[in-house]
Structure 1
């Protein structure tokens, strides 16, 4: 029967669990690496946008300083300054850069007539209508195309532009407006935009002066289409896996979208992506940048994770196979070891067998040879009684030799596993009764009384009938042999839980502790005569011990010298 073990399967299970842990760790590390790389990319885009806004602001500051430092400038001078400043050509996404003049209510007619004399006879500040003061786009470069639509427009009449212009005046800094649609766009081609404003003050030297509005000459402004601004900063958007959406102000609101990369390059959207939301703050104005990076396959199908998992599974099954081979080798090694032990035991038993035969057969053979020599040499000189006595000695010696050889052969067959073993359900009570009946005459000749206890009910065991009889015969025979005349031998059966115990007791000569220690050891086999000088082989209890062990039972001896002996053995209930 093959030895069954869980070791290879435990090795496989441990390998798979370890592979799972390492794979999860690798997957987590990969996500962290990708997340960090993604965040770095997003930060790069944010920095590029912020840097460009600062560069645009510097152009507005320089233009505002140019107007502030001049008593008056003409349209041509404004055009030349912006050309030399490369304002339009170098700034990505810019629609133009212009100046909005602040006009007091009583100066509106004079202002309009002045501009009309410059060659614009239809010029009017629009929209028309009375108000506290007016503003008008006076200069804008390039002064052509759709930019002409802004010429004369009062930006202060539009709430979004007005809010930014007021903030710029109060902060004396460049301010970006909320989301607007530029005047330059046609109705059918409107796209989200924003406008930068910076105030222009005349003769204003004290920032602490709360009456700065009286020195306000107007605003330098620059309108942007967001698509042009962002693509001008980042280059033509070609990343089909990365989406950038810019929202006006804080938070994500579909109605406040300023820019979406989908408008310039369609993103290949999948269910596997990384996303990041980060604010961009410029002079108090906040844009919300929302990045999404899509992947064609999930991270757990990436080469790194699949490679780690595959290698782990391969190693797990390799260790599984190695464990099986090791187990087979160990099993073979154990079998060889057991065979060696059995061989050593057989050699030892052979030596013991020869030793016992040499030692225990010498005495009866000497007796046998001695008396046969006497009969042969002096047969005619011996009378009938002497011949009878010598014949009896010869008979007893031959009988002792036969019993010893029979016990030795039985033990040898049992030790090598060649003794017939046919267990079946057997009633111990009936076997005890049979053995007692067999020894009734022997006990009667020695005036020994045989007593029994608990023999009236069946005591069933699963055992070999012949072996049980052999055990009981040896125990009863020894008890009678070492009991004095008029003694008592008692055979008792007891049952407790799952075992049955048989005890054979006598009130004979007993034995010493040293003699008890040698009872079941064939290497220290010894025998002594009974109370009527009965001969023994010394093999009886050794046979009994081996036969009891064959039945998964146990045997033990209790004895006090001069008070008797009790030999007991127990067997599992059948």
Structure 2
């Protein structure tokens, strides 16, 4: 946020808390004034009674009882008003804070998405200009073409994630239900990443012919997000492991990396929309904060759940637990 916006928000919060304190102080003053008036009226009524009257004690007790009832009434009404004011204040404060947080996340997302769009476009343009202006040997041409295809794949993945996130938020996405060979789909995803990142070590342990009911395109998108995250957030010389096994009537798909791992306080937030570990505006790793959010949504649409655990000695393990179709 800009300095102007920060000062403006600070001023809004100061005014908010000032008004809240003023309202509570006015309520307390109202109670004290009414109770004082009630007590004075009781004393006045007692002073008007003839002390020689045989009913004097009973009349005094009746006046004091009336005074006590009014005091209890003022306390009850004041307490209800105070609770309503505090509840309303807490609700408004949390709603505003949640909105500010959402705006900040969207701001970070726009910065990240701008960078994510500009980088592959710039690389693709440079590669094509190089191919156009220079005579390169076959190996150099293939390297530039491969790099251009890789950047185009990044753009395609980014657009797919944004489109899917928009459809899910609007409730307009319809999941296709068909029997899918998950083993075959996972093999395709792993082979695609091996071609895109030939320098990375990808190990897979995939049991053949494991079937589930679901949407093949969505599942591949979710798997790609997990593998892409593992590659982005782990050292280049480390191993990324992809496993697919069957445990009774459940199918477990896991992606393990050997990165620095995730802090305890951030583990519950990694599946939130737009959330990225650390400062999303200044992170060196590429990303928009949509990958894990969409993967969780995809898992839920397939009656599966996704979990994250620590890898030993370092890194993370993301596991999707599916129900077998057999």
TM-score by length of 2: 0.51
Q: State the match for 2:42 in structure 1.
A: none
* Residue in structure 2 matching 1:543, options 274, 291, 294: 294
Q: Partner of 1:454 in structure 2?
A: 206
Q: How many residues align?
A: 196
Larger radius of gyration: 1
Retained in 2: the 8 A contact 1:460–1:573?
yes
Aligned to 2:141: none
User: Could you tell me which residue of structure 2 aligns to residue 359 of structure 1?
Assistant: 108
Whether the 8 Å contact between 1:506 and 1:566 is mirrored in structure 2 is yes
1:442 aligns with 2:200: no
Q: How does 1:60-459 map to 2 (within 5 A)?
A: 356-362=105-111, 365=114, 406-445=160-199, 448-455=200-207, 457-459=208-210
- SS of 2:198's equivalent in the other structure is helix
Partner of 1:487: 238
Secondary structure of residue in 1 paired with 2:197: helix
Where does 1:461-472 land on structure 2 (aligned, <5 Å)? 461-472=212-223
Give the match's secondary structure for 2:108.
Answer: helix
CA distance in 2, matches of 1:548, 1:554: 6
Q: Is the 8 A contact 2:106 2:274 kept in 1?
A: no
Q: For the residues of structure 2 that align with 1:367 and 1:565, how far apart are their CA atoms? A: 24
- CA positional deviation for 1:404: 5.7
Indicate how the Cα distance of structure 1 residues 523 and 426 shifts in structure 2: closer, same or farther if over 3 A, else same. closer
Distance 1:501 1:404 in 2: 26
Instruction: Determine which structure has the larger strand proportion and give its number.
Output: 1
Note if contact 2:251-2:322 (Cα within 8 Å) is conserved in structure 1.
yes
Contact 1:443 1:450 in 2 (8 A): no
CA–CA distance in structure 2, aligned partners of residues 401 and 430 of structure 1: 25
Give unmatched runs, 5+ long, in structure 1.
1-348, 370-396
Flag the 1:442–1:514 CA change in 2: closer, same or farther, 3 A.
farther
Contact kept, 8 Å, 1:510 with 1:562, in 2: the verdict is: no
> Following the alignment from structure 2 to structure 1, what is the Cα–Cα distance between the partners of residues 181 and 187?
10
Q: Which has the higher contact order (CA 8 A, sep 6+)?
A: 2
2:254–2:317 CA contact under 8 A, matched in 1: yes
Select 1:512's aligned residue among 263, 279, 303.
263
- In the TM superposition, residue 500 of structure 1 has moved relative to its aligned partner by 0.5
Q: Equivalent residue of 2:286, what SS?
A: coil
Aligned: 1:502 with 2:226 = no
Q: Which residue of 2 aligns with 1:30?
A: none
Label 1:534 to 1:400 Cα distance change in 2 as closer, same or farther (>3 A): farther
Q: Deviations over 1:359-394 (max 9, x none)?
A: 32136648999xxxxxxxxxxxxxxxxxxxxxxxxx
Q: Do 1:528 and 1:535's aligned partners in 2 also have CA atoms closer than 8 Å?
A: no
Q: Which residue of 1 aligns with 2:306?
A: 555
Deviation per residue, 1:134-174 (Å, 9 max, x gap)? xxxxxxxxxxxxxxxxxxxxxxxxxxxxxxxxxxxxxxxxx
Partner of 2:64: none
What's the C-alpha RMSD, in Å, of the aligned pairs?
3.8
Residues of 2 paired with 1:510 and 1:414: CA distance? 29
Q: Deviations over 1:482-503 (max 9, x none)?
A: 2212211111112122211101
SS in 2 for 1:451: strand
* Kept in 1: contact 2:234–2:260 (CA 8 A): yes
> For the residues of structure 1 that align with 2:223 and 2:293, how far apart are their CA atoms?
13
Structure 1 contact 512–561 (Cα < 8 Å) conserved: no
Q: Conserved in 1, the CA contact under 8 Å of 2:112 and 2:287? A: no
Give distance in 2, aligned partners of 1:367 and 1:468: 23
Structure 1 residues 356, 444: closer, same or farther in 2, change over 3 A? same
User: Take 2:292 and 2:172, find their aligned partners in 1: how far apart are those partners?
Assistant: 19
Confirm or deny: 8 A CA contact 1:483 1:509 kept in the other structure. Answer: yes
- Render the CA deviation track for 1:304-355: whole Å, top value 9, x for unaligned: xxxxxxxxxxxxxxxxxxxxxxxxxxxxxxxxxxxxxxxxxxxxx9998765
Higher helix share: 2
Contact 2:257 2:315 in 1 (8 A): yes
**Offset at 1:358?**
2.8
Partner of 1:430, secondary structure, is helix
Q: Partners of 2:154 and 2:302 in 1: how far apart?
A: 29
In 1, the alpha carbon distance for the partners of 2:106 and 2:219 equals: 26
